[in-house]
Structure 1
Amino acid sequence: MNKTFDVYTLDNKYRKDIQGVRAIGAMLVLVFHIWFQKVSGGVDVFFVVSGFLMTGMLLRQYARDGNIKPFHFWGGIIKRVAPSAYVVLLTTFILSYFFVPPVYWVATIHEFIFSAGHLENLLLIRREVDYLQIGDPASPFQQYWALSIQVQFYAFLPLLIGPLLYISNKMKSLIPLMLGVSIVFFISFVYSLVSTHFTPNTAYFNPLGRVWEFLVGVLVAIFIPYIKLNKKTASIISFLGVFILFSIGIAFPSDWNFPGYVALFPVVSAAFIIISGNEPEKRTLVNRLLSNRYLVMLGAMSFTIYLWHWPILVFFQHYYETTNLGVVKGMTIVVLGVLLASITTWLIEKPFRKIPKSRVCISYIAGFSFFIPSVTLGLGAKYYIENLHDVKVDFKKSAFEGGKISIQDDASNLNYGYVTAISNDLGETMDRDNGCATVITESKISSCYFGDTSSENVVALVGGSHIGQWEPFFSILGNEYGFKVISIIKNSCSLGYEIVEGNDTCKLWNENIVDYLSDLSPDLVITNSTRSNRPRDNRLVVGNPVEFVPAGHVEKWKEISALGIPVMGIRDNPWFESDPSYCVWKNRHEASLCARPIEEVLLSVNPADAYVGEIPLFISIDFTELICVEGLCPAYFDERLMWSDTHHLTRNYLEYITPSLKTSLEHQTSIISGF
Structure 2
Amino acid sequence: MQTNPINLDKKFRPEIEGLRVIAALLVAIYHIWFGKVSGGVDVFFVVSGFLITTSIISKYNKTGSFKFIPYITGLIKRLFPSVITVLLVTVILSFFLLPESILGKTIKEIIASLFYYQNWQLALSSTDYLNKDQMKTPVEHFWAMSIQGQFYIIWFVIFSLIFMLYKKYTNLKIINVINLCLGTLFIVSLSYSIYLTHVNQPWAYFHTFTRVWEFSLGGLLAINLNKIKINHIVASLIGWLGLIGLILTGIIFNVSTMFPGFIGLWPMLCAVFILVSGNYETKYGVKKFLGSSIMVKVGGLSFGLYLWHWVILSFYQYHNNERPGIVLGICMILLSWLLSYLMTRYIEKPIRSASSNKIAFKKLGIGLAIQLLAIASLYFVIFNNPFEKEKVALSENYPGAMAVEKHVKVKEDVEAIPEFSKIRNESPDSTRDKVHQKIGESKVLVGEYGKKENYDKTIALVGSSHAQHWLGALQKAAEEGNYRVLSMTKSGCVLTTKDSDRDCTDWNKNLIKELDKQDVDLVVTTADSSTDVNGQIDPLQLKQYQNITNTKTPIMAIRDNPRYEFNVPETLDKFGEQETIQKMNAKQRLPKESKWDQLEQKPANTKYVDYTSYFKENGKFAPVIGNVIVYMDKGHISNSYSKTFGPKIKKDIEQYFKELNH
Q: Is the 8 A contact 1:409 1:591 kept in 2?
A: no
Distance 1:249 1:592, change over 3 A: closer
Q: Is the 8 A contact 1:598 1:628 kept in 2?
A: no
- Which whole-Å deviations, capped at 9, do the CAs of 1:135-170 have from their partners, x for residues lacking one? 985211111111111111112211123213433562
SS where residue 600 of structure 1 aligns? coil
| Mapped partners of 1:256, 1:338: distance in 2 | 29
Give the distance between the partners of 1:671 and 1:187, measured in 2 at CA. Answer: 63
How many Å separate the matches in 1 of 2:408 and 2:259? 42
AA aligned opposite 2:338: L
In structure 1, stretches of 5+ residues that fail to align are 534-540
**Aligned partners of 2:625, 2:404: CA distance in 1, in Å?**
14
In structure 1, what is the equivalent of residue 189 of structure 2? 188
How far apart are the structure 1 equivalents of 2:222 and 2:412? 61
Aligned pair partner of 1:374 in 371, 374, 377: 371
Pair 1:449–1:160, CA change in 2 (3 A): farther
Give the CA deviation at 1:517: 4.4
Q: Aligned with 2:616: secondary structure?
A: coil
2:233 alignment counterpart: 232
What's 1:422 paired with? 423
Per the alignment, residue 294 of structure 2 pairs with 294
C-alpha separation in 2, matches of 1:557 and 1:366: 66
One-letter amino acid of the structure 1 residue matched with residue 16 of structure 2: I
From 124, 127, 130, give the equivalent of 1:126: 124
- In structure 2, how many angstroms separate the alpha carbons of the residues matched to 1:406 and 1:332? 52
Identify the match of residue 103 of structure 1 among 95, 101, 104: 101
Q: How does 1:31-180 map to 2 (within 5 A)?
A: 31-128=29-126, 138-167=136-165, 170=169, 171-180=172-181
TM norm structure 2: 0.89
1:670 and 2:628 equivalent?
Answer: no
Structure 1 residues 290 and 496, CA gap change in structure 2 (3 angstroms): farther
Query: Which structure 2 residues correspond to residues 211-610 of structure 1 after superposition, within 5 A?
Result: 211-253=212-254, 256-279=257-280, 281-282=281-282, 285-319=285-319, 321-355=320-354, 365-388=362-385, 391-393=389-391, 396-399=396-399, 401=402, 404=405, 413-414=414-415, 418-431=419-432, 434-440=433-439, 442-454=441-453, 458-496=458-496, 506=504, 509-510=507-508, 512-520=510-518, 522-533=520-531, 546-586=534-574, 588=576, 590=578, 593-594=581-582, 596-597=584-585, 600-609=588-597
Distance 2:362 2:162 in 1: 30
CA distance in 1, matches of 2:466, 2:113: 30
Distance 1:69 1:25, change over 3 A: same
1:325 partner SS? coil
Separation (CA, whole Å) in 2 of partners of 1:125 and 1:484: 36
How far is the alpha carbon of 1:360 from its aligned partner?
A: 5.1
Distance (whole Å) between structure 2 residues aligned to residue 200 and residue 671 of structure 1: 49
Deviation at 1:631, TM superposition (A): 5.0
Q: Give the 3-state SS of the residue equivalent to 1:145 in structure 2.
A: helix
Distance in 2 (alpha carbons) for counterparts of 1:598 and 1:108: 30
- Equivalent pair of 1:496/1:554 in contact (CA under 8 Å): yes
In structure 1, C-alpha distance between the alignment counterparts of 2:659 and 2:61, rounded to whole Å: 76
2:630 counterpart residue number: 642
Quote the residue 2:641 is aligned against: 653
Partner of 1:537: none
Check if 1:624 corresponds to 2:612: yes
RMSD: 3.4
**What one-letter code is carried by the residue in structure 1 that aligns with 2:342?**
I
**Contact 1:409 1:592 (C-alpha < 8 Å) held by counterparts:** no
Contact in 2 for aligned 1:393/1:415 (Cα 8 Å): no
Cα offset, 1:488, TM superposition: 2.7
Give CA-to-partner distance per residue, 1:395-434, whole Å, 9 cap, x none.
Answer: 6435454655889999654269823222323321233xx4
SS at match of 2:385: helix
Partners of 1:477 and 1:549 lie apart in 2 by 27
Q: Report deviation, 1:223.
A: 2.0
Give the secondary structure class of the aligned counterpart of 1:104: helix
Q: What CA distance in whole angstroms lies between the structure 1 residues aligned with 2:254 and 2:484?
A: 48
Moved more, 561-570 or 238-247: 561-570
Q: Please give the alpha-carbon distance, in whole angstroms, between the structure 1 residues aligned to 2:519 and 2:3.
A: 72
- Seen in structure 2, the aligned counterparts of structure 1 residues 313 and 641 have a Cα distance that, compared at 3 Å, is same
Structure 1 residues 416, 530: CA separation in 2 closer, same or farther (over 3 Å shift)?
A: closer
Report how far residue 44 of structure 1 moved: 0.8
Letter of the aligned partner of 1:566 in structure 2? P
Q: Do the aligned residues in 1 keep the contact of 2:476 with 2:647 (CA within 8 Å)?
A: no
Q: 1:423 to 1:239 in 2, by over 3 A?
A: same
Q: Secondary structure at the match of 1:548?
A: coil
- After superposition, the C-alpha distances for 1:227-260 in whole angstroms (9 at most, x for unaligned) are 2222122223212211210111223347742222
Q: CA deviation at 1:29?
A: 0.7
Q: CA deviation at 1:13?
A: 0.5
Amino acid in structure 1 at the alignment position of 2:223:
I
Deviation at 1:15, TM superposition (A): 1.0
The change in CA–CA distance for 1:410 and 1:403 in structure 2 (over 3 A counts) is closer
In 1, Cα distance between the equivalents of 2:499 and 2:632? Answer: 25
Question: Is 1:406–1:637's contact at 8 Å kept on the other side of the alignment?
Answer: no
Q: Tell me if the contact between 2:84 and 2:367 (Cα under 8 Å) persists in the aligned partners.
A: yes
CA distance in 2, matches of 1:191, 1:653: 43
DSSP 3-state at the match of 1:531: coil
Amino acid at match of 1:277: G
Q: Which moved more, 1:325-334 or 1:161-170?
A: 161-170
Checking the alignment, whether the CA contact within 8 Å between 1:425 and 1:650 is kept in structure 2 is: yes
How far apart are the structure 2 equivalents of 1:582 and 1:428? 22
Q: Which residue of 2 aligns with 1:536?
A: none
1:98 Cα deviation after fit: 2.0
Does the Cα contact within 8 Å between 2:464 and 2:489 map onto a contact in 1? Answer: yes
Provide the rounded CA distance (Å) in 2 between the counterparts of 1:405 and 1:160. Answer: 69
What SS is found at the alignment partner of 1:527?
strand
Q: CA deviation at 1:283?
A: 7.2
Residue type of the partner of 1:575?
R
Contact 1:450–1:484 (8 Å) recurs in 2: yes
Percent of aligned positions with the same letter in both sequences?
Answer: 30
Q: Following TM superposition, by how much is the alpha carbon of 1:92 offset from its aligned partner in structure 2, in angstroms?
A: 1.2
SS in 2 for 1:392: coil
Answer whether contact 2:569 2:629 (CA < 8 A) is retained: yes
Gaps of 5+ in 2: none
Checking the alignment, whether the CA contact within 8 Å between 2:249 and 2:266 is kept in structure 1 is: yes
CA gap 1:528/1:210 in 2 versus in 1, 3 angstroms: farther
**What is the letter of the counterpart of residue 418 of structure 1?**
E
1:379 counterpart letter in structure 2: A
How has the CA–CA distance of structure 1 residues 239 and 511 changed in structure 2, closer, same or farther, with 3 Å as cutoff? farther
Bigger Cα displacement from structure 2, 235-244 vs 627-636: 627-636
SS in structure 2 at match of 1:569: strand
Give the conservation status (yes or no) of the 8 Å contact 1:76–1:360: no
Q: Distance in 2 between matches of 1:136 and 1:489?
A: 22
Tell me the secondary structure at the aligned position of residue 264 of structure 2: helix
2: CA distance between counterparts of 1:282 and 1:130?
A: 51
Aligned AA (2:228): I
- The answer to whether the Cα contact below 8 Å between 1:26 and 1:306 also exists between their aligned partners in 2 is yes
Looking at structure 2, the residues matched to 487 and 365 of structure 1 have their Cα atoms a distance apart, in angstroms, of 54
Offset, 1:655: 2.0
State the alpha-carbon separation in 2 of the partners of residues 244 and 267 from structure 1: 10
Q: Secondary structure at the match of 2:462?
A: strand
Q: Assess if the C-alpha contact under 8 Å between 1:438 and 1:445 holds in 2.
A: yes
